[in-house]
Amino acid sequence: MKWKMAEEPDVQSVKQMEKLLNVPRIIAKMLVRRGITTYEDARKFFKPQFEDFHDPYLMKDMKKAVERIIQALKNREKILIYGDYDVDGTTAVAILYSFLKQRHPYVEFYIPDRNTEGYGISRKGIQYAIDNNFSLIVALDCGIKEIEEISFARDNGIDVIVGDHHTPGEILPPAYAILNPKQKDCPYPYKELSGAGVAFKLIQALNEKEGNTIDKIIPYLDLLAVSIAADIVPITGENRTFMYFGLQQLNVSPRPGLKVLMKSIKKTEKEVSDIVFTLAPRINSAGRMTHGKLAVKLLIEPNEEKAEEIGSMIEENNRIRRETDKAMTDEALDLILEHIDPESYTTVVYNKNWHKGVVGIVASRLIEKYYRPTIVLTWSEQAQMWVGSARSVKDFDLYGALNAISDKLEAFGGHKYAAGLSVKDENLKDFIRAFERKVREMMPEGPKEPEIEVEEELDLIDITPKFYRLIKRFAPFGPGNMKPVFMTRALRDTGFGKTVGEDNRHLKMYVIDGTTRSGINSIAFGLGDKWEQIKASPSFAAVYHIEENHWNNHVSLQLKIKDIKPE
């Protein structure tokens, strides 16, 4: 990895925060880097309050959407909650469905089939609504681009409310109401809500209309926290407030479905990383391996025993997903070694037998090994063409690259860092060549290197329980407020170092740096191959997170090392 030191913040702002909050300079610098320069900024950051939630009626069309839903409740109309099959979509559906179901018996939900319908509102989904006499569809985490499908619904007497957070196109769909803070003329002050965030704002507005206080909808924040972490939206502003209270809900009183999925997390206090690495893959596995509606069924289930039954099915899905993912990744790595030029700027691999639901995960795994824009494709019998997922590297506009060679594709969609695409068999080789050419053209300085941003350089003597407590208060961590990475030079192992784990992949050490007599434990996952270099060098530098290690009822600080460079 390339180590990049964070920019030095404005000196005057740092001094001001140091004095205002009575904190060490390093903490003041961290705050200013995160845009916190006043006492009120710091209060919202460290002590969020429910009053920090924005007024939901600031969102364009919110009043219109609320009035249409209330009309449907009064007239006993059939309402269909429609959402995507990923974590954000299924949690969004679970939030609105659970809220409305307590007030109205005629509510159902619809999740499209990943393999036969694909992402977004499908024609099949609209036809289901027509055939079953639904007069109102609320589409969540999708709909902003589905102009034809929403026109089809409208022409058949169905009103559609779109609740989406993806960037709108030039032409908006003919929906009854559109809730999307990214609309050009939407005055809503926070633009980075998840799809479930938009759903939560809708129930917040409905709750207010009923004359209830915010307490009534706090139980839905566990689902919202899961969506924010899984969809990798910024954990800043209102999202930070949601995540702060959502984690409290998740830790103190989670709904039965989430409680079941959290059994494999052994820590007492769950954090954002537990959602990302434990909850999200399990919820996603339903849509990847069987059907996303299974995830919604789990998330809306009030009965603990029934939640256990559904949870065990999802655990089985996740087990199969892990096995499939590993097998496909191994096959893909073999293909890269056999067929792809090591000097290539891109990775494109394809196999007719690969599982469509896992290609995106495999693309991400390949980037961990070969840091370059990556596409993984499998064969769709239904479409009779190659379909798959693309993933990008930092600061490379993958969507722009695909858009520039879209004449080689049948369809594509996504954003800067991730996309889905389909290509005819006869165009595949031309597409691969065109993709390589376009990426080379867009990277004139050569292939990008994986990079890690270092917050500050420390001596080991700086790492005290008090310092760690201050760092911990910066949580919840995520995009826009990443867990700080520190660097220390002149480290030496004290003789207790060893490789551990399967194939000796990891490295465990007790390190000192000359500033303190007592050293500190460290763990370096996936860096076992650095051990020989460390033994051969007089000292080394490391970049790391600081974390607590719980062992035999004893809590101590340790370094979670991200990278090592012999000196």
Per-residue pLDDT tens for 457-508? 999 999 999 999 999 999 999 999 999 999 999 999 998 899 999 889 999 9
| Residue 403 DSSP symbol | H
Query: pTM of the prediction?
Result: 0.92
Helix H or strand E segment including 542: strand 540-551
Q: Are 388 and 417 in contact (CB under 8 A)?
A: no
Residue 561 confidence (pLDDT) above 80 = yes
Q: Residue 178: is its pLDDT beyond 80?
A: yes
Tell the burial category of 429 from Cβ atoms under 10 Å away from its Cβ (0-12, 13-18, 19+). Answer: exposed
At 208, list the tokens. Answer: 């207010």
Whole-Å CA distances, 34 to 47, 223, 468: 16, 26, 18
User: What pLDDT does 169 receive?
Assistant: 84
Contact 303, 256 (CB under 8 A): yes
User: What is residue 224's three-state secondary structure?
Assistant: helix
Segment 231-266, tens digit of pLDDT? 889 999 999 999 999 999 999 999 999 999 999 888
For residue 61, is pLDDT > 80? yes
pLDDT tens-digit map of 347-381: 999 999 999 999 999 999 999 999 999 999 999 99
Q: For residue 441, what are the β-bridge partners? A: none
pLDDT value, residue 555: 85
Q: What is the mean pLDDT of the chain?
A: 95
| pLDDT of 414 higher than 80 | no
Domains and CATH numbers, the chain: 56-313 (3.90.1640.30), 340-442 (3.10.310.30), 452-566 (2.40.50.460)
Q: Which two tokens stand for residue 392?
A: 């990008």
Q: Which of the 8 DSSP states describes residue 440?
A: H
* Confidence at residue 382, expressed as pLDDT on a 0 to 100 scale: 87
Range name among 327-331, 342-346, 485-489, 553-557 with the lowest pLDDT average: 553-557
Provide the 10 A C-beta neighbour count for residue 525: 13
User: What per-residue confidence (pLDDT) applies to 361?
Assistant: 94
Q: Is 243:228 a contact under the CB 8 Å cutoff?
A: yes
As a whole number of angstroms, the distance between CA 112 and CA 389 comes to: 18
pLDDT tens digits for 213-225? 999 999 999 999 9
